[in-house]
Structure 1
Amino acid sequence: MIVARNPEDIKDIIAGSCVTIGNFDGVHKGHQKLISLACARAEARGLVSVVVTFDPHPLRVLRDDRNPPFITLTQQKLELISQYGPQVCLLLHFTMDMAKLSPEEFVQKYLLDTLNMKEMIIGYDYHLGKGRAGNFETLSALGQKKGFTVDRLDPVSVDGAVVSSTRIRDLVQAGQVWSVRPLLGRFYQVRGEVVHGMNRGGRLLGFPTANLKLVDELFPKPGVYAIWVEVDDDVYQGVANIGKNPTFDNDALSVEAHLLDFKGDLYGREIQAHFVQRIRDEKKFSGIDELKERIGKDIELGRQILAQPDAAIKLTRPDLGNARTQK
């Protein structure tokens, strides 16, 4: 997938395109179906398949500090979008000037002049342009005038409810990570560089942990979780604690992952933690001995959870398609 951040870089080089456009936060099952449909339509008509999305997320510009934590940051979003086959992703820098464009102005400037769009496919609730005036009806009318067709994808439902970024966000924040997988098609993950923590895990407790330098915005509810951990091209079982380590009276949120059966140095390396199932709430223990006993039980529960067939990990990063699983 070609990622173009400057529309001028691809202007006049695409003879015709089928475009889908959106924020795609989470790249969930609804987004996946939308992107796949655009790719199929493009192939059938001999067009270039294009995904148009934004950085920063429009809410970050329009609502400033009143926006929710996002499910996927830009790099992960691009990695996920690429899995569903589009040839080009146009990543537009969203600004207040862009927000002031009417639907017709936006379509002409970014989709017709740049992408030579012949077909547009949008989600059931998508709007674009100033005042969200560009809905399915107005875009269809514009297409009749400008020479492109517009199609709209019906909502995608799982367990009787529409898949949405809001629903996924609420489940993650409630700690219901197992229920998120059917909506995403994968386990929810966070990633980060392993940095030095308080040096308590291995030295004091006998369970060394990888402390993540947090870059993501959305985290599961504090507690202990069974996780898969990606390290380069390998995958390990693990148990993670999210929270403030109340036994040690910490104040800052941390994510600490204990990799089962791992030996080696992780400092300075980026890892990904995939959250499979919540084991328990975070708890303040009476002392080190009680905490060590509880961690041992958490690890055993984690092994049991991750051994279940339904807990198998599906890798999504392009460079990890042939990863080896370490158990």
Structure 2
Amino acid sequence: METHTEGTLTLSGSVIAIGAFDGVHKGHQEVIRQTVRRSRMLGVPSLVYTFDPPPRHYFSGAQILTPIEEKVSRIAMLGVDHVVVARFDESYTKRSASSFVTELARLHPLCIHVGNDFQFGQNREGNVELLARHFPVQIIEPVHCPDGKTISSTRIRHLLSQGETQKTLSLLGWQ
């Protein structure tokens, strides 16, 4: 797998998963696996576009579940061809949605996988609908535990704060 900074990669075709992917938990793993499967089916590279630090950490100080090196390593284990790591800082928060769309266009996505609540650009001006005006978009539904609760980085942080290490490890799925 090759690692890139934002704006430095151009591809003639790709299938992309976009997200913070903090923890690379079972839900994230499913999104990434679907991306890899789709890319192989279409004969183009798979790509994960992620952020360092995760936006939730930048804006609200949320605990980081996986340092960037660990996150990239876990993504690589899922068979991804490329990962783009965008430095999420004050400058990045001022980036327009159209600028992000322009960067994605350089990757010629045949499909982009995101969650249904995906937002991007300054003040979250971009959303799934805007992305879908420019590219084929596949919304990936949340993954749930056997108890029916959604697996999320927020839930994992909460469980960690409650000392629920075993439940956390189960949701991360990297044991």
- The normalised TM-score by structure 1 is 0.50
Q: Indicate whether 1:129 and 2:116 are aligned.
A: no
Kindly state the Cα deviation for residue 83 of structure 1 after the two structures are TM-superposed. 1.4
Q: Indicate whether 1:88 and 2:85 are aligned.
A: no
Matches within 5 A, 1:143-162: 143=134, 148-158=135-145, 159-162=147-150
**Deviations 1:174-220 (Å, cap 9, x if unpaired)?**
1111112331113xxxxxxxxxxxxxxxxxxxxxxxxxxxxxxxxxx
Structure 1 Cα separation of the partners of residues 98 and 38 of structure 2: 23
Q: Indicate whether 1:43 and 2:31 are aligned.
A: no
Kindly state the Cα deviation for residue 57 of structure 1 after the two structures are TM-superposed. 2.4
Partner of 2:105: 112
Which SS does the other structure have where 1:26 is aligned?
Answer: coil
The one-letter amino acid of 1:5's match is T
Structure 2 Cα separation of the partners of residues 16 and 88 of structure 1: 12
Kindly state the Cα deviation for residue 133 of structure 1 after the two structures are TM-superposed. 2.6
Partner of 1:172: 160
Partner of 1:140: 132
Which SS does the other structure have where 2:129 is aligned?
Answer: helix
Structure 2 Cα separation of the partners of residues 177 and 38 of structure 1: 29
Structure 1 Cα separation of the partners of residues 57 and 22 of structure 2: 12
**Deviations 1:101-133 (Å, cap 9, x if unpaired)?**
23222111x2112x2222111023221112223
Is this contact kept in 1: 2:14–2:47, CA < 8 A?
Answer: yes
Q: Indicate whether 1:181 and 2:174 are aligned.
A: no
Q: Indicate whether 1:67 and 2:55 are aligned.
A: no
Is this contact kept in 1: 2:57–2:63, CA < 8 A?
Answer: no
Q: Indicate whether 1:2 and 2:7 are aligned.
A: no
> Higher RCO, 1 or 2 (CA under 8 Å, sep at least 6)?
2
Structure 2 Cα separation of the partners of residues 31 and 131 of structure 1: 24
The one-letter amino acid of 1:57's match is P
The one-letter amino acid of 1:79's match is S
Which SS does the other structure have where 1:157 is aligned?
Answer: coil
Is this contact kept in 1: 2:17–2:48, CA < 8 A?
Answer: yes
Question: What root-mean-square deviation, in Å, do the aligned CA atoms of Structure 1 and Structure 2 show?
Answer: 1.6
Is this contact kept in 1: 2:51–2:87, CA < 8 A?
Answer: yes
Q: For structure 2, which runs of at least 5 residues remain unmatched after alignment?
A: none
Partner of 1:223: none
Kindly state the Cα deviation for residue 6 of structure 1 after the two structures are TM-superposed. 5.4
Structure 2 Cα separation of the partners of residues 170 and 60 of structure 1: 14
Is this contact kept in 1: 2:49–2:85, CA < 8 A?
Answer: yes
Structure 2 Cα separation of the partners of residues 102 and 124 of structure 1: 20
Partner of 2:91: 97
Structure 2 Cα separation of the partners of residues 59 and 171 of structure 1: 17
Q: Of residues 12, 17, 23 in structure 2, which corresponds to 1:15?
A: 12
Is this contact kept in 1: 2:57–2:64, CA < 8 A?
Answer: no
Partner of 1:163: 151
Which SS does the other structure have where 1:155 is aligned?
Answer: coil
Partner of 2:51: 54
Kindly state the Cα deviation for residue 172 of structure 1 after the two structures are TM-superposed. 1.3
Kindly state the Cα deviation for residue 60 of structure 1 after the two structures are TM-superposed. 4.3
- The normalised TM-score by structure 2 is 0.91
Structure 2 Cα separation of the partners of residues 6 and 122 of structure 1: 18
Which SS does the other structure have where 1:68 is aligned?
Answer: coil
Identity %: 34
The change in CA–CA distance for 1:81 and 1:137 in structure 2 (over 3 A counts) is same
